[in-house]
Structure formats: C-alpha cells, structure tokens
Amino acid sequence: MNRQSPRHWITQIIGYFSICFIAMSCTPQNQIITITPEKKWEAGETFHNFVLEGQAYTEKDAEAVLLFHTNGESGYEVLFRNGIIDGSRKTGSLSAIRNLYRSLANDNEWFNFKVCVHDKNIAIQINGTDVVCYTEPSNPYRTTEYSKRLLGQGDIILKGKQGTVKFQNIQITPLTEGTYKANETLPAIDEQNDAIIRLQQQNFPVID
C-alpha cells in the first residue's frame, strides 16, 4: 500500500485529474453568482466523477453549501462559512462527515476552492491547501438525519443558509470512468466501529 502522507494523496488526486480532462465552464468569467437563503444555483446536469473549482466570497456571518450527487435532498455537502473559531463548522467542511473548525479563508475576501469526487473518494482544497480527503466505505455509518449523505450521482447545487455568499468562475470537469486508483488515496475506515464519525454527526468539535 502507498504510505505517502494524506496531504500528498489529496494533491495527487486533485492535481492529476484537474489537468487530464476538458473543463466545462459553468459561469462566464468573473460573472458573480449571489447565493442567499432565498436564492440558489443549479448546474442542471447529472454528475458522477468530477473536479469542481471556483472562487467564493462570504460576508460576515454568512453561510452557504455546495451540494453534489444531489436531487435536492440526497448527496454530500461542502460548507462555506468563515469567521473566528467558535465551535461552528467552517469553510471546506464535508458537513457531518469531516467537519473543520478553523477556516483557511476570510470574510469579505475572494478565495479559491476545489472539490474532487472520484469513485468513492472526496477531496477538498481551500486556497490551495488540502483540507479533506475522505473515502466512503462499503458500509458507512450514518444517523437517520444524514442517511442520504452517500455517493451516487446527481446535480450540483449552491444553496444559501444565512446571509450572502458569492461565487464566480465555476468550472466543472467530468472525469472518465476507470482512471481511479485506490492506492493513490486514503483507505476507507470501518465506520461501524469508529467513534469519530459519530461525534462528527453530532456536530461535536473533534480533530481526527
């Protein structure tokens, strides 16, 4: 098994796939998408494996999510929320699965983000820094509240939860099947016997 560091795994996954396929530009360059609790954005297509990248801008106390493999209710959620360390989940969190409690971005500043989904692996970067590398196991642990938080396929949606979050330069690069290599990423863990995943889904601040 490849014993390289998790940081290397994420960089390898995101860096390799982001240059191997042709990206589709989902928004005109520098066109701003404004997301509020009353306003969302949908890619309007079905995605399985992909790399998504763009820039985001959070106002003070604002919060939005990027949903993928979703029908509006199912799929995973990447969080956008900055600000001081206060016990709330922060930008880059794979919400309820891999929560982050310190943001690598600031309010009222544009920052870069990248999400790579390939086979059972999800990798997230904020401002070029690897923050999440998660491999969904064959038998993932999910509470009733998060029972639909699973990989599959579906749309990509930006949805507001509080205040105003802006996005621009969104690009989605579909990835072809059969190029994923399990030894290039973190192995899945046995979540049925893992205490950390239970605390994550209770929104209890932990660092695993």
Cβ density class 96-125: b for 16+ within 10 Å, e for less? bbbbbeebbbebeebbebbbbbbbbbbbbb
| pLDDT, mean of residues 25-36 | 83
- The pair of structure tokens assigned to 194 is 């893992």
Q: Please tell me the pTM assigned to this model.
A: 0.85
Per-residue pLDDT for 10 more than 50? no
Per-residue pLDDT for 2 more than 80? no
CB count, 10 Å around CB of 69?
Answer: 22
Per-residue pLDDT for 182 more than 80? no
Distance (Å, rounded) from C-alpha 178 to C-alpha 119?
9
- Residues 121, 134: contact at Cβ < 8 Å? yes
Tell me whether residue 148 is in a domain.
Answer: yes
Which residue range is the domain that position 152 belongs to?
A: 6-201
Tell me whether residue 207 is in a domain.
Answer: no
Reported as a single tens digit per residue, the pLDDT across 68-122 is: 999 989 999 999 999 999 999 999 999 999 999 999 999 999 999 999 999 999 9
Tell me whether residue 110 is in a domain.
Answer: yes
Could you tell me which residues come within 8 angstroms of residue 101 by beta carbon, excluding any fewer than 6 positions away?
85, 87, 88, 89, 90, 205, 207
- The pair of structure tokens assigned to 162 is 């509080």
**How buried is residue 149: exposed, middle or buried, by Cβ count under 10 Å (0-12/13-18/19+)?**
buried
Q: Number of folded domains in the chain?
A: 1
Per-residue pLDDT for 185 more than 90? no
Tell me whether residue 40 is in a domain.
Answer: yes
206 — pLDDT class (breaks 50, 70, 90) = confident
* Predicted pLDDT of residue 8: 41
Tell me whether residue 163 is in a domain.
Answer: yes
Tell me whether residue 206 is in a domain.
Answer: no
What H or E segment, with its residue span, contains residue 197? Answer: helix 195-201
CATH, residue 124: 2.60.120.560
Tell me whether residue 1 is in a domain.
Answer: no
Tell me whether residue 35 is in a domain.
Answer: yes
- Residues 116, 13: contact at Cβ < 8 Å? yes
